[in-house]
Structure 1
Amino acid sequence: MEGNQILKQRMDAQGFTQTELAEAVNADLRAAGYEGTVSDRTVRNWLTGKTRWPHQRQRAALEAVFGCPVNELGFVPREDSSCSVPEDPVLRRRFISATTGAAMAAAGTVSTAPAYAAQARIGMSDVQRLLSKFAVLIASDHRHGGKRTIETQASALAGEALALQARGSASQRVRGALYGCAASFTSSAMWAAIDGRRFDAAQRHFDRASSLASMSGDPTIQFRIWSHAGSLFRHMARPADALAANDVARRLPIARRDPMFASLGHARHAAIHGLTGENRAVRQALGHAQDALQQADPGEQRPVWMNAFYDQAELESLALAAYLSLAAYEEAEAHAHRSLALLRPEMQRSRAITTARLAHAQLGQGDIEPAVATAMSIPADPAGQHPRVTTMLDDFGNALRITAPSSEPARTWDQYTRDSRRSPQ
């Protein structure tokens, strides 16, 4: 027997390694209230055919991860299961009330709590517990970014937040906070999908997140979601839609009340204007972003996602992106150096992206040898495997071959990329 080739093909299609699939299944199991006990060895047993029919909880989690019935993943029921009552995965994720059911549909998840268990009192301590898990996920995102496991884990956290709605009574304040958590977590799934260039998935997360955000009443969450939508359309090369979405974020009350939010809105607007070639608009937006950032109170309490990434280094990075789009390479390089000097050590993904952009800026000025050296300085693993980084480095190689096809730096780069592909990952 050749093992479960169908599962292997589905894993390859979605970019899962054995370890990543185990993490995704465990994330769904934890969201359903169970222990995450799946390991890469478990997945290996599925692939080799040693385990032809996972147990019930794992089957339900696999269906959630791949979005299809488990028998479409190459699994075959045991002979003695033919007389058993068919499993209904809806029972595992059934709606507990009409209100929570609508929220679950918006988030793409459903509760696993039985109706008779809805007696406990849910409080802000439960919200804080979720936010602590979220902080860990945010840290992982800044180290790696774009990984499907981060997207899956963020979605699972959103399901966990909504499941709490069904498990007990809570004040209106707590319920609003739980919807806010679910919206924020779904927004993180959206950003991971954007970062991984899985744009269809990102748009689905956007639809869910915006519905949840409206139920939360939290303007900071609404800002994040619409700002992410602007970034999504910018990466899809749809600047008109990007400007419209980012304008929604910039017009929210939080952007008028807190200069930090205003600064981020202006900086992302500048990056979008770069795509349309509007030099004056880029400079104006960056000026507004810098002024607002200087006015922001660093001691003001803000969401963990804002504190985790937006600062002067990120503003410089967005300015770099804007000037690269304008082909203003000298200015782009200056912003790249400033961003790299200010980036916090844990921002590995951001450092790799900024370094790749710096290489483009140097190449655009004809500084071929420094450009190649800069591109080769990006660590191969994990930063160099980030989807956005690999795309930028591929584009860099193409531009290098056009600019100096027979030069020594071009030959050095080609050899480097060939060696990198042969290296074990």
Structure 2
Amino acid sequence: MPEHAVANWRIVAARVERGWHTQEEFAAAYEDKARELREQARISVRQVRRWESGESTWPNRDARRVLEAMFDCSMEDLGFRRPARPTGRRPGGSGRQMEEHVQRRAFPGLAGVVPVLDLTALEHLTAAAHGARRHGERELLGHLRTELDDAARSDGLSGPHEALPTVLGILAAINSAARTAGEDLRCELLALGARGAELAAWLHRDAGAPAQAVAYWHHQAKEWATFTGDGAMHAYVLLRQAQATERTDAARMLDLARAATTGPWTLPPRPRAEALQQEARALALTSAGADQVTRVLDRAHAALDQADPAIGPATCTGPLGDGYTRQRLMMQSAICYREAGQSELAVSLFREYLTTKVFAPRDRAFFTAQYSGALVAAGEPDEAATTACEALALAAGARFGQALAELHRTADVLAPYARRPAVREFRQRLGELTAA
């Protein structure tokens, strides 16, 4: 079967939830239920594999009766697709129809929005949910917190496609456990879920999912933060929404960034500094003067000065925004100055602070891509192309989406220099990666 065949993860999740952790166990349970119902239907492990891979999309009548009795739900709820009646239309759309069907089953309300999980991703998702089931209430929270931190680190190193299935599995486990947990544990689970949902929003954005998917997870994060009375987390999601807003909608970006710092909540110093930096970038995009941008950045530095020293490496579930450091603020300040037309100042900041080794591969790729664009604006097309090739080497393997988007922006502004060897080489490499 092809490596990226569409998988029916609904039936996999359903059987694992009921304790049939292998296809062999499920086949044996099916046989028992068939005998109980006096059905003649028999299946093999191979048939189970065909159902779970999506290769077999609608069981026969006898098998449907057994499955409905085993799971107490409809075939559609198990991810099976009822055969469509002939319409007289030309063939050719079945692949996309199957994709949309799986999306509807996997992510209610997000049909056509979320990328379909392949079989490898499915394994990560079910492993995360299954791993959570093996822990008692006292251990569950710690297990999920560790898994979420590991997934966030994986994103920084290997990109969103590696981390996303695990995060979705963790969120599924949180959502399930919170329904039956006591009040105190439920509150802690939902607080952790808000962190995870915010991470899921970022991962979807970096993976290239449409804006609706990103907005869905931002909304979920804010909902859970509201349930737990975590105003700071609510504000932090507003900041992340501002960061996810396109450059072409600078007014909305500005409103979101300001709301994060002026609403009925108090952001800790580090995320407050980050929100002020985002406000400065939005101001630059609205053609505010460089002096105004600098004043807001000065406020960001002042907020960061109030932060307690970080203890140990930053984690997804640690103090809110604890990974926001002076080096990161300087890199994002350079981006603000680039947007404000202060390209030489931006280049100077990039040159000074990109030499540090504090950034994960994802962040280094993104900041290097931004650096390449600033170099074009500063009149250095050859150095810009060389720098862009460095960023591409960092971003290509893991498919860091935001870095690649910035490199396409650099390629566009390098178009007038297309005949220069360095520029031609970069644009060719980027084109080959896009085609692949």
TM above 0.5: yes
Identity of aligned residues (%): 16
User: Pairwise mapping of residues 334-345 of structure 1 onto structure 2 (< 5 A)?
Assistant: 334-345=348-359
Q: How far apart are residue 341 of structure 1 and its match? A: 2.9
In structure 2, give the amino acid aligned to 1:75.
Answer: T
Contact 2:281 2:335 survives alignment (8 Å): yes
Q: How far apart are residue 52 of structure 1 and its match? A: 6.9
In structure 1, give the amino acid aligned to 2:257.
Answer: N
State the partner residue of 2:331: 317
Contact 2:159 2:398 survives alignment (8 Å): no
State the partner residue of 1:14: none
In structure 2, stretches of 5+ residues that fail to align are 24-44, 80-106, 112-134
State the partner residue of 1:11: none
Contact 1:266 1:286 survives alignment (8 Å): yes
2-structure distance, mates of 1:232, 1:26? 34
State the partner residue of 1:158: 171
Distance 1:178 1:413, change over 3 A: closer
| TM-score normalised over the length of structure 2 | 0.69
1-structure distance, mates of 2:351, 2:195? 32
Alignment match of 2:421 (pick from 408, 411, 418)? 408
1:399 aligns with 2:413: yes
Give the alignment's Cα RMSD to 1 decimal.
4.1
Alignment match of 2:363 (pick from 327, 330, 350)? 350
State the partner residue of 2:242: 230
2-structure distance, mates of 1:209, 1:334? 37
Alignment match of 1:280 (pick from 291, 301, 311)? 291
Give secondary structure in 2 for the equivalent of 1:385: coil
Distance 1:207 1:381, change over 3 A: closer
2-structure distance, mates of 1:76, 1:265? 50
- Render the CA deviation track for 1:375-420: whole Å, top value 9, x for unaligned: 1122256457322222222222222122x24333333334444666
1:207 aligns with 2:222: no
In structure 1, stretches of 5+ residues that fail to align are 9-16, 39-49, 60-69, 94-103, 109-119
Q: How many aligned residue pairs are there?
A: 356
State the partner residue of 1:269: 279
Larger Rg: 2
2-structure distance, mates of 1:353, 1:299? 24
1:184 aligns with 2:166: no
Contact 1:27 1:153 survives alignment (8 Å): no
Distance 1:32 1:367, change over 3 A: farther
- Render the CA deviation track for 1:263-306: whole Å, top value 9, x for unaligned: 12211211222211212332111101111112211157984374
Distance 1:299 1:321, change over 3 A: closer
1:193 aligns with 2:204: yes
Alignment match of 2:137 (pick from 102, 118, 122)? 122
Contact 2:354 2:364 survives alignment (8 Å): yes
Distance 1:317 1:23, change over 3 A: farther
User: Pairwise mapping of residues 139-178 of structure 1 onto structure 2 (< 5 A)?
Assistant: 139-147=153-161, 150-168=163-181, 170=182, 172-178=183-189
Distance 1:218 1:82, change over 3 A: closer
Distance 1:306 1:383, change over 3 A: farther
Distance 1:218 1:270, change over 3 A: same
User: Pairwise mapping of residues 318-397 of structure 1 onto structure 2 (< 5 A)?
Assistant: 318-345=332-359, 347-378=360-391, 379=393, 382=396, 385-397=399-411
Distance 1:206 1:358, change over 3 A: same
In structure 2, give the amino acid aligned to 1:245.
Answer: L
Contact 1:52 1:75 survives alignment (8 Å): no
Distance 1:75 1:421, change over 3 A: same
